[in-house]
Amino acid sequence: MQQQIEAAKARAGRTDSVLLVAVTKNHPLEALEEAVACGVTAVGENRVQEAKQKFEGYAGNSVEWHLIGHLQVNKVRQAVPMFDLIHSVDSVRLLKEVERIAERENKVQRILLQVNTAREESKFGMSAEDLPAMIALAQNCPHVKVEGLMCMAPYSENPEAARPVFRKAAILFADMKQHFAPGQIQFLSMGMTNDFVAAIAEGANIVRVGTAIFGARQYTL
């Protein structure tokens, strides 16, 4: 996987780093442990409950825990103590709850704002128009540190179809940097098994990959 990421970077003429988040959802704890043993430094889960089971059972080397799936307001209390980076903050209500819980936990929670630049009704993520209000709110949340944006493209047989969606996110990401301290806005999380090459071409520096590492998921949990 690292080699494929390096190849995609080379094709895009990039020499900066791209963080691989190995998406372990619907795979057992052993798969996660094996990935870390093979050099993975960050794992991604999309459900708080499933992540918690693995988090509590995990005894391997230190690894970053990333929440990549939709976060319900009533799960924030469980999520904040567990996750290093929450990719999926997409509403005012959710941001306020993360701030409230992080304050109680005495933690500064690192987050990304999830934008939906594909304008799909069914997907999570806020629209580009809602971003300025979220940025303004985040600046008044001392226990939340916004570090960038997350974006998902609709699944398509043709991964190139994702490029305009990723490009819009990259533009928003560049604009966003002006509103925060220098260096704070670092991460553009986009690209999965099917479209990470396109995402890297458009500037992603976090890719979230499950299937290409672990094989197809078994939805029997």
Cα 60 from Cα 91, distance rounded (Å): 34
Cα 154 from Cα 157, distance rounded (Å): 10
Q: Is 69 in the site for ligand PLP (CB under 6 A)?
A: yes
Please report how close the Cβ of residue 60 comes to ligand PLP at its closest, in angstroms: 21
Q: In this structure, is the dihedral angle defined by the CA atoms of residues 73, 70, 139 and 118, taken in order, positive or negative?
A: negative
Consecutive H or E run containing 90: none
Q: Is 208 in the site for ligand PLP (CB under 6 A)?
A: yes
Which one of the spans 73-81, 115-123, 163-171, 209-217 is the region binding ligand PLP (CB under 6 A)? 209-217
Residues 17-46 that bind ligand PLP (CB under 6 A): 23, 25, 46
> Which of 23, 85 has the CB closer to ligand PLP?
23
Structure tokens at 168: 């819009």
Please report how close the Cβ of residue 89 comes to ligand PLP at its closest, in angstroms: 13
> Which of 38, 136 has the CB closer to ligand PLP?
38
AA letter at 39: G
Please report how close the Cβ of residue 164 comes to ligand PLP at its closest, in angstroms: 19
Q: In this structure, is the dihedral angle defined by the CA atoms of residues 207, 191, 168 and 9, taken in order, positive or negative?
A: positive
Please report how close the Cβ of residue 151 comes to ligand PLP at its closest, in angstroms: 10
| Single residue of 40, 68, 188, 204 touching ligand PLP by CB under 6 A | 68
| Single residue of 41, 53, 78, 193 touching ligand PLP by CB under 6 A | 193
- Taking Cα atoms as reference points, which of 180, 177, 108, 107 lies closest to residue 145? 108
Please report how close the Cβ of residue 195 comes to ligand PLP at its closest, in angstroms: 8
Residue 5 half-sphere exposure toward CB, CA atoms < 13 A: 23
AA letter at 144: V
Cα 70 from Cα 86, distance rounded (Å): 10
Beta pairing class for 85-89 and 144-151: unpaired
Residue, CB closest to ligand PLP: 210
Q: How many residues bind ligand PLP (CB under 6 A)?
A: 14
Which residues of this chain interact with ligand PLP, rule CB under 6 A?
23, 25, 46, 68-69, 152, 192-194, 208-212
